Chains A and B, each alone.
Chain A
Amino acid sequence: MDHQMSGHDHAQMQEPSIEEMEIRGWKKKMIWAWIFTIPIAILMLGERLLGFELFPEKVMPIIILALAFPVIFITGWQTIRGGLRGLFTFYFNMDSLIALGTLIAYFSGLLHIFFKNGDYSGVSAMIMAIFVTGKYIETKARGQATQEIKKLLELGAKKARLLQGKIEVEVDISELKIGDIMIIKPGEKIPTDGIVVRGESAVDESMISGESLPVEKGKGSAVIGATLNQDGILYVKATKIGSDTFLAHIINLVEEAQGTKIPIQKLADKVTSIFVPTILIIATLTFIAWLYLTGDINRSLGVGISVLVIACPCALGLAVPIALMVGSGMGAKRGILIRKGEAIQTMKEVRIFVFDKTGTITKGKPEVTNIHSKVKENYLLDIAASLETLSEHPIAHAIVSRANLKKYRKVTNFNIVRGKGVMGKIGSKDIVIGNRSLMTDKNIKYDDLDQKIRGFESEGKTIMIIAENKKALGIIAVADAIKEDSAQAINILNQLGYKIFMLTGDNELTARAIAFQVGIKNVIANVLPEDKAKKVEELQKYGMVAFVGDGINDAPALKQANVGIAMGSGTDIAIEAGDIVLVKGSLRGAIAALNLSKATFKKIKQNLFWAFGYNVIMIPLAMAGILNPVFAEVAMALSSISVITNANLLRRIRV
């Protein structure tokens, strides 16, 4: 590693992806195919429509054969080879049909020189040219369907700027080690997951969580690789690198989800697996039947070729995965990770939503909600925070962060009374902060505050009494605050007619108080963590259940539910749990996931309908001899393109 700074936007040499290579390949084939096919079309049309002959009748077929040769055997070589191999090894595919169709058509032209049979050699070139064109458009459109996922893959930073001693060094991302201190300047990408050791800034995390507002980061904040630093300089210690990073996990998860099959696809898969051999049989039977009935070998041949080339398993096979791809890509962009494709289908059957309380409906960490003071409020907070800053208890954190002091008072004789509170001396004053039980222990009277205390407690809050020299000065009420959009999200679900339950280990009183505030009527309280799954199972008697909870404590319940929606917040998302993972810990995400699932599934059904419908209608038409082979091939190409285009239209919906 040298100490020389290289340019940050140093262009990287990248090899073209398989997809790009495929698109380029088809494009080249398409261009060459038409270079030879257009003259054929002119010759044939000139002869048929205008009725004049450019070449003598004897020479014409030979010229067309010569022009068609490169189309079939050069641009179409891969297709012909793959298709024929498929016929011999019994791994039939789409190519087998096209290969057979074009070869038969081409050889009919060869035979034509010696016998007086129909000449389909010109048609063979057209079929191949249209097929190749269709493939080109299809591959391109398929690439479009994966654009969100591709963006996700390209999101990672390529370089990192490190602090080594006092010198800044730029290294490749692969050389980064855990513990390295990275410097991130305004407008730069955070190279990998880490913890801020110095500096303050706002960070745009929208690409990972879908959260549009930048998130404030300061010393001790966790930052995620690939997010964008906004306005300050951050010094970040790398904590995770390579395949352990948050982004790598997300990518892996989305990719694995692409491989999962959803139940509705099974039928389509079954049909595709027997499709090609079935068509081969149908085409042969059609040819024989036509020959038997009409005795016209030319017509029979044309009809047989039509059947071969019109049949297309592609639309069928693409219908489900392409819609799933677009849907999951849209989700990933908004922080909704669909881990199991099946969830999309199940979601629409869900009738009951069960929410975990702590960390799902609420923020999962206590906040000061009320202060009731007989002295100046600032003074109360001042002494409370000065003591509590010495404690690690979550309630202590809530009080300290509310007070937000610049300077703490000097505390002596500090003492933690486990489960009750804290004590200490500030100057000559004895300070006691704690619950009722601690006050009673210390013989401190708080009768005048009793009514207030009961009021707060009935709202499900925890109270701390602050006493100075044995005199109660006031109370601070602390509660696990409700997330800003919980009530709104639950309201939407209520309106949609879902049954909503809240599941919690808290006591009935606290639970009811929270449930009331967000608009949930059904509360199941006092549930031990290990019993949550059982409760979900009981509810499943009444309908399909979606469980929304955090992935760490609720894993069994997430698994038990028909759809498990795991909530994350920042870097702590338990990716292994849940069928759907929400990167951002907001209940709005659950609604978005619901909408996205429904919309995606609708597309899947539409696509399957068109794909099946196409084959069911077009194959009999071809058998009846109504479709000319060239039009049959155009229809075939359009069928798969239309399925992909329809899936791409999913992007128009709002979730």
Chain B
Amino acid sequence: MKKFKVLIQGMHCASCASNIERSVGKVSGVKSCSVSLMTRKSLIECDDNVKEEEIKKAVARAGYQVVSIEK
């Protein structure tokens, strides 16, 4: 298990947050994803084999940009 803390740009409404949760949640190996519209941060818990790239792609798929990923 590992945790990612992802800073996301472009969110401006509540649906945005739930869109990202939905999209990232679909990445295989992701256990949980909670997005805070307030802090613009997303906390992702996932298996060790999940790559940063996959998370970035999932966020982009929902229409937003990853600014930075912290472990």
Q: Counting CB contacts under 8 A, is A174 at the interface? A: no
A325 proximity list for chain B (CB < 8 A): 38-39
Q: Known interface pairs A272-B18, A314-B14, A317-B17. Does A255 touch B39 (Cβ–Cβ under 8 Å)?
A: yes
Q: Counting CB contacts under 8 A, is A65 at the interface? A: no
Task: Report yes or no: B23 in contact with A91, Cβ–Cβ below 8 A.
Answer: yes
Q: Counting CB contacts under 8 A, is A568 at the interface? A: no
Contacting B at CB under 8 A, from A269-321, are 269, 272-273, 275-276, 313-314, 316-318, 321
B19 proximity list for chain A (CB < 8 A): 86, 91-93
Q: Counting CB contacts under 8 A, is B51 at the interface? A: no
CA distance A426 to B4 in the complex (A): 64
Task: Report yes or no: A259 in contact with B12, Cβ–Cβ below 8 A.
Answer: no
Task: Report yes or no: B15 in contact with A313, Cβ–Cβ below 8 A.
Answer: yes
B14 proximity list for chain A (CB < 8 A): 94, 272, 313-314, 316-318
Most B Cβ at <10 Å: residue of A139, A149, A321: A321
**Which of B7, B13, B62 lies in contact with A94, CB distance below 8 A?**
B13
Distance between B41 CB and nearest chain A CB, rounded to angstroms: 7
Most A Cβ at <10 Å: residue of B14, B37, B38, B40: B14
CA distance A321 to B42 in the complex (A): 13
Contacting B at CB under 8 A, from A72-108, are 82, 85-86, 89, 91-95
A321 proximity list for chain B (CB < 8 A): 36-38
Q: Is the interface of B mostly helix, strand, loop or mixed?
A: mixed
Task: Report yes or no: B43 in contact with A94, Cβ–Cβ below 8 A.
Answer: no
CA distance A19 to B7 in the complex (A): 12
Distance between A185 CB and nearest chain B CB, rounded to angstroms: 34
Contact with A along B22-44 (1 / 0, CB 8 A): 11000000000011111111110
Distance between B25 CB and nearest chain A CB, rounded to angstroms: 11
CA distance A149 to B41 in the complex (A): 14
Q: Counting CB contacts under 8 A, is A352 at the interface? A: no
Q: Counting CB contacts under 8 A, is B16 at the interface? A: yes
CA distance A261 to B14 in the complex (A): 13
Q: Known interface pairs A18-B40, A272-B18, A276-B15. Does A259 touch B34 (Cβ–Cβ under 8 Å)?
A: yes
Q: Counting CB contacts under 8 A, is A642 at the interface? A: no
Q: Known interface pairs A139-B12, A272-B18. Does A89 touch B61 (Cβ–Cβ under 8 Å)?
A: yes
CA distance A146 to B18 in the complex (A): 21
B67 proximity list for chain A (CB < 8 A): 18
Closest Cβ neighbor of B44 among chain A residues:
A259
Task: Report yes or no: B12 in contact with A86, Cβ–Cβ below 8 A.
Answer: no
Closest Cβ neighbor of B67 among chain A residues:
A18
Task: Report yes or no: A89 in contact with B63, Cβ–Cβ below 8 A.
Answer: yes
Q: Counting CB contacts under 8 A, is A339 at the interface? A: no
B7 proximity list for chain A (CB < 8 A): 18
CA distance A388 to B22 in the complex (A): 65
Task: Report yes or no: B36 in contact with A275, Cβ–Cβ below 8 A.
Answer: no
A261 proximity list for chain B (CB < 8 A): 34
CA distance A93 to B39 in the complex (A): 19
Task: Report yes or no: A142 in contact with B38, Cβ–Cβ below 8 A.
Answer: yes
A255 proximity list for chain B (CB < 8 A): 5, 39, 41
Q: Counting CB contacts under 8 A, is A260 at the interface? A: yes
Q: Counting CB contacts under 8 A, is A322 at the interface? A: yes
CA distance A92 to B20 in the complex (A): 11
**Which of A89, A94, A135 lies in contact with B15, CB distance below 8 A?**
A94
Q: Counting CB contacts under 8 A, is A256 at the interface? A: yes
Q: Counting CB contacts under 8 A, is A361 at the interface? A: no
B63 proximity list for chain A (CB < 8 A): 82, 85-86, 89, 91, 93
Task: Report yes or no: B13 in contact with A322, Cβ–Cβ below 8 A.
Answer: no
Q: Counting CB contacts under 8 A, is A595 at the interface? A: no
Q: Known interface pairs A19-B40, A260-B34. Does A314 touch B18 (Cβ–Cβ under 8 Å)?
A: no
Task: Report yes or no: B40 in contact with A91, Cβ–Cβ below 8 A.
Answer: no
Closest Cβ neighbor of B12 among chain A residues:
A135
Q: Counting CB contacts under 8 A, is A258 at the interface? A: yes
Distance between A42 CB and nearest chain B CB, rounded to angstroms: 30
Q: Known interface pairs A256-B43, A273-B18. Does A313 touch B13 (Cβ–Cβ under 8 Å)?
A: yes
Closest Cβ neighbor of B16 among chain A residues:
A93
A258 proximity list for chain B (CB < 8 A): 36, 38-39, 41
Q: Known interface pairs A85-B63, A89-B61, A273-B22. Does A146 touch B38 (Cβ–Cβ under 8 Å)?
A: yes
Closest Cβ neighbor of B15 among chain A residues:
A93
Task: Report yes or no: B39 in contact with A273, Cβ–Cβ below 8 A.
Answer: no
Q: Counting CB contacts under 8 A, is A145 at the interface? A: yes
A18 proximity list for chain B (CB < 8 A): 7, 9, 40, 67
A139 proximity list for chain B (CB < 8 A): 12
Task: Report yes or no: B38 in contact with A314, Cβ–Cβ below 8 A.
Answer: no
A149 proximity list for chain B (CB < 8 A): 39
B16 proximity list for chain A (CB < 8 A): 93-94
Distance between B35 CB and nearest chain A CB, rounded to angstroms: 8
Closest Cβ neighbor of A319 among chain B residues:
B14
A95 proximity list for chain B (CB < 8 A): 13
CA distance A83 to B36 in the complex (A): 20
CA distance A94 to B17 in the complex (A): 11
Distance between A602 CB and nearest chain B CB, rounded to angstroms: 19
Task: Report yes or no: A93 in contact with B38, Cβ–Cβ below 8 A.
Answer: no
CA distance A95 to B41 in the complex (A): 20
14 A-B residue pairs with CB within 8 Å: A18-B7, A18-B67, A19-B40, A22-B12, A82-B63, A91-B62, A93-B15, A255-B39, A255-B41, A258-B38, A269-B18, A272-B15, A314-B14, A321-B37
Extra inter-chain contacts (11) besides given A142-B38, A272-B15, CB under 8 Å: A89-B61, A91-B63, A93-B63, A95-B13, A135-B12, A145-B38, A146-B38, A258-B39, A269-B18, A313-B15, A321-B38
Shortest Cβ-Cβ A-B pairs, 7 listed: A317-B14, A94-B13, A93-B15, A259-B43, A91-B19, A273-B18, A272-B14
